[in-house]
């Protein structure tokens, strides 16, 4: 038994978050390191959904919009997500997909920025859909796209900049970008900051209000464990809510939704981010899933995340022969999210073999093995085992 194996056991025994693992439906024979794509199922969600389907839908039917609180779910759940991303109540609404919310945020930001600002700075390493939507929004609004490395955005913002769309954590490498500094630079230039939090919310503190972020979007099926395709969310800073002009006005965001009037009049607050009828089943599954966050300090989550990723890199260096894999995830804590990405020439063959041996990560073509560390249910023994199995798979391949 290796020293690293023993140290992993000691670290798990001292881990203040270790007890949360029991709240998830996990196979003890599997090391699940793909929570940065799809979070594990909180064990109590099936019973909650059985009640939603059998009683709220099956028995109460349409009465559940009022009696079961379906109508207010998008804002109610937004208020539950708010502390995890550093927002006050009333600033987040849940609904639609991340892609739809990116479109709302980008177009609304061009309108908030005003005339004379005709450029949109876009994270050149962004998740592809964000780039696609930004380009479409630019064509619709007459703006031009300026792709940049996120580190160059603060220096590039100027009098023509309407907004910058940036990923808080790079989906491929796990690099954590400078949200406070970039937001401050954009604000100083008179531009708006729109952040994609898909790979950071639930893994590390974000501080939307504290850092003056204008608009933000995020998904809920990764570190927030809301389930496949669970609804995304939109954050609108309080100072922008009265002027927030959504490019997708719908009856759900109308000041008098049941008046069914032909003219649109936007509701107050974050409700402006709603569009049509919310997907109640997935929305309520998300609400139940968020119970696992009750009493959890995001700072403790961040501390464990860094400890896990540090330990994984240490184990990889100890077990894997030098040169077989290279980490493309930054070593510096201030630049690292909650995943480790390893460049490996045989990645396309290695990842399926890892999964067959019970270590589940994912592949980003052509050569990146990606491992996500979800501190609520991933432990140090999982981390050590994953590195050891990776070494075995690479040895067998050679």
pLDDT digits (tens, 9 = 90+) for 260-277: 999 999 999 999 999 999
Residues 269 and 312 in one domain: no
Residues 125 and 205 in one domain: yes
pTM: 0.97
Whether 221 is catalytic is: yes
Q: Does residue 1 carry a pLDDT above 60?
A: no
Residues 170 and 31 in one domain: no
CATH code at position 122:
3.40.640.10
The total domain count for the chain is 2
- Amino acid 356: pLDDT: 98
Residue 49 lies in a domain: no
Catalytic annotation, pick one of 79, 196, 367, 382: 196
Whether 373 is catalytic is: no
Residues 156 and 97 in one domain: yes
Q: List residues forming the annotated binding site.
A: 98-99, 127-130, 196, 199, 221, 251, 277
- Amino acid 154: pLDDT: 98
pLDDT digits (tens, 9 = 90+) for 172-229: 999 999 999 999 999 999 999 999 999 999 999 999 999 999 999 999 999 999 999 9
Final residue of a structural domain among 229, 261, 293 = 293
Residue 53 lies in a domain: no
Catalytic annotation, pick one of 127, 233, 312, 377: 127
Q: List residues forming the annotated binding site for pyridoxal 5'-phosphate.
A: 98-99, 127-130, 196, 199, 221, 251, 277
Final residue of a structural domain among 261, 276, 293 = 293
Whether 370 is catalytic is: yes
Q: Where are the alpha helices (DSSP H) in 24-72?
A: 45-51, 64-67
Residue 30 lies in a domain: yes
Domain that holds residue 84: 71-293
Whether 51 is catalytic is: no
Q: 92 Cβ partners below 8 Å, 6+ apart?
A: 75, 78, 79, 81, 82, 85, 233, 234, 235, 270
Tokens of 169: 């954590």
| Residue 281 pLDDT grade (very low, low, confident, very high; cuts 50, 70, 90) | very high
Question: What would the mean pLDDT of 138-145 be, rounded to a whole number?
Answer: 98
* DSSP class of 16: T
Residue 223 lies in a domain: yes
Catalytic annotation, pick one of 21, 80, 117, 222: 222
Tell me: cis bond preceding 167? Omega within 30 of 0 counts. no
Residue 22 lies in a domain: yes
Residues 167 and 124 in one domain: yes
Residue 59 lies in a domain: no
Residues 101 and 168 in one domain: yes
CATH code at position 350:
3.90.1150.10
Residue 371 lies in a domain: yes
Residues 225 and 267 in one domain: yes
| Adjacent-strand bridge partners of 369 | 342, 363
- Amino acid 397: pLDDT: 86
Residues 305 and 277 in one domain: no
């Amino acid at each position: 038994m290796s020293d690293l194996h023993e140290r992993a056991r000691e670290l798990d025994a001292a881990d203040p978050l270790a007890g949360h693992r029991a709240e998830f439906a996990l196979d003890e024979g599997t090391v699940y390191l793909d929570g940065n794509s799809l979070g594990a199922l909180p064990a109590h969600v099936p019973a909650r959904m059985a009640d939603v389907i059998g009683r709220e839908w099956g028995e109460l039917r349409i009465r559940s919009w009022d009696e079961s609180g379906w109508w207010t779910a998008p804002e109610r759940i937004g208020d539950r997500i708010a502390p995890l991303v550093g927002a006050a109540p009333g600033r987040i609404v849940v609904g639609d997909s991340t892609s739809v919310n990116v479109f709302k945020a980008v177009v609304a930001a061009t309108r908030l920025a005003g005339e004379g600002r005709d450029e949109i700075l876009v994270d050149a390493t962004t998740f592809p859909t964000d780039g696609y939507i930004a380009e479409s929004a630019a064509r619709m609004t007459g703006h031009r796209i300026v792709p940049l490395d996120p580190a160059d955005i603060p220096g590039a913002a100027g009098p023509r900049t309407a907004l910058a769309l940036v990923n808080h954590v790079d989906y491929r490498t796990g690099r954590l970008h400078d949200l406070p500094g970039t937001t401050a630079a954009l604000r100083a230039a008179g531009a708006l900051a729109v952040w994609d939090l898909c790979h950071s919310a639930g893994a590390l503190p974000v501080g939307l209000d504290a850092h003056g972020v204008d608009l933000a979007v995020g998904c809920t099926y990764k570190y927030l464990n809301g389930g496949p395709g669970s609804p995304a969310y939109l954050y609108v800073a309080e100072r922008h809510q009265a002027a927030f002009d959504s490019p997708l006005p719908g009856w759900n965001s109308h000041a008098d939704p049941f008046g069914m009037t032909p003219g649109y009049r936007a509701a107050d607050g974050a409700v402006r981010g709603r569009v049509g009828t919310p997907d109640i089943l997935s929305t309520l599954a998300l609400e139940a899933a968020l119970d696992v966050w009750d009493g959890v300090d995001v700072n403790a989550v961040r501390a464990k995340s860094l400890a896990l990723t540090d330990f994984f890199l240490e184990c990889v260096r100890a077990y894997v022969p030098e040169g077989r894999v290279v980490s493309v995830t930054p070593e510096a804590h201030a630049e690292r999210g909650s995943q480790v990405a390893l460049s490996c020439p045989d990645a396309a063959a290695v990842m399926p073999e890892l999964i067959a041996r019970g270590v589940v990560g994912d592949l980003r073509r052509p050569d990146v093995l990606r491992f996500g560390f979800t501190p609520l249910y991933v432990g140090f023994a999982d981390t050590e085992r994953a590195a050891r199995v990776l070494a075995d798979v690479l040895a067998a391949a050679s």
